[in-house]
Amino acid sequence: MTVIAFLNYQDFICELETEHPDAPVRVQDFTDRYGQAGTFLRHIDYKIEVAFSNGVDTCLVRFVLARLSVFDRPSPDQTKMIEDAFIRSENAAKLITRHLHELGYDVRPGLIAETDTAKAIANIDSLYTYLNIKPPYQSSDQPIIKPASQEAA
Number of neighbours of residue 75 by Cβ within 10 angstroms: 10
**Euclidean distance between the first and the last CA atom of the chain, given in angstroms as a whole number:** 48
Task: Please tell me the predicted confidence (pLDDT) of residue 136.
Answer: 61
Average pLDDT (84-102) is 92
Which range among 6-10, 34-38, 137-141 shows the weakest confidence by mean pLDDT? 137-141
Residue 151, pLDDT > 60, answer: no
Q: What is the pLDDT of residues 98-145, one digit of tens each?
A: 999 999 999 999 998 888 778 889 988 888 888 887 766 443 443 344
